[in-house]
Structure 1
Amino acid sequence: MAQRDVVFPAGRQALYELHNYSPAVRANGLLFVSGQVGSREDGTPEPGLENQVRRAFANLNAILEAAGCTFADVQDVTLFIVDPDTRFQAIWDLVRAEFWGAAPYPATTAIGVTWLSGFDFEIKVVARLPD
């Protein structure tokens, strides 16, 4: 079996080792990013939904940058949201303009969940690696 080509953002490797997963893996011209939550460096949740969303995107951006990617390279997005009936639109309004810019947007799936280990929002993506 080939060894995985793992991407680690600066300063958070201990958190990934503690929880036994890779933040992202490069394969076949794509970057598969594990779900990112609004966690501080010590792994605790950022207080408040908007702050958690912004921190999750900052954590995601750190991984993208470590792989030489930007948000423009993101092709597929999966959002996990606790209580999506009351939160989805606020989250989407926040991230759409600030992070995705103008259309066309990446393919997106939003999933309502009941538990995210103390978090309210999680995002995972697949990005195209630069040539």
Structure 2
Amino acid sequence: MTTRDAVFPAGRHALYDKHRYSPAIRSDGFLFVAGQVGSREDGSPEPEFAQQVRRAFENLNAVLAAAGATFDDVVDVTFFIVDPANRFERAWEIVPEYWGQAPFPTATVVGVTWLAGFDFEIKVIAKLPERAAG
């Protein structure tokens, strides 16, 4: 059986303990990051959509940093958006603030009806740099 090498960002353990999952698992040189939402430290959502998207990216970046990686190491992204017909363009205006330079990672956008009180979630897979792989 493979041992799970969990990665936790500073200061958010209660959120992950409450919902019984790891924010990321390091395995075979890759980092598999659970969906990150625009939650504040107390777990509540940012009320405004654009700020929720930004906070989701900030939370993602904290998980990546805890593993010794950055968004430049991300190879695959999945976005989940509630009401994408009305929110996709607004989210996509914010993405370049965090996305970096080409070549960009692969991306999939999924429209959903429920995200536990949130409107945006981002899930990624990153190829860890050699120094952080293990």
User: Which TM-score tier does this pair reach, normalised by the shorter chain?
Assistant: over 0.9
Alignment of 1:1-131 (within 5 A): 1-95=1-95, 97-131=96-130
Deviations 1:91-123 (A, max 9, x none): 11211x211133221100000000001100000
Whole-Å Cα distance in 2 between the matches of residues 79 and 39 of structure 1? 16
- SS of the counterpart of 2:15? helix
Whole-Å Cα distance in 1 between the matches of residues 100 and 49 of structure 2? 21
**Structure 1-normalised TM-score?**
0.96
- SS of the counterpart of 2:16? helix
- SS of the counterpart of 1:9? coil
Overall identity of the aligned pairs, in %: 67
Whole-Å Cα distance in 2 between the matches of residues 103 and 85 of structure 1? 26
Could you say what the CA RMSD is over the residues aligned between the two structures, in angstroms? 0.8
Whole-Å Cα distance in 1 between the matches of residues 89 and 71 of structure 2? 20
> What amino acid sits opposite 1:25 in the alignment?
I
> What amino acid sits opposite 1:128 in the alignment?
K
- SS of the counterpart of 1:75? strand
What are the ranges of 5 or more consecutive residues in structure 1 without an aligned counterpart? none
**Structure 2-normalised TM-score?**
0.94
- CA shift at 1:52, angstroms? 0.3
> What amino acid sits opposite 2:73 in the alignment?
D
* 4+ long deviations beyond 6 Å: none
What are the ranges of 5 or more consecutive residues in structure 2 without an aligned counterpart? none
> What amino acid sits opposite 1:130 in the alignment?
P
> What amino acid sits opposite 2:99 in the alignment?
W
Aligned residue pairs total 130
- SS of the counterpart of 2:85? helix
CA contact (8 A) 2:38 2:53 kept: yes
Q: Which moved more, 1:97-106 or 1:16-25?
A: 97-106
Whole-Å Cα distance in 2 between the matches of residues 99 and 56 of structure 1? 11
- CA shift at 1:66, angstroms? 0.3
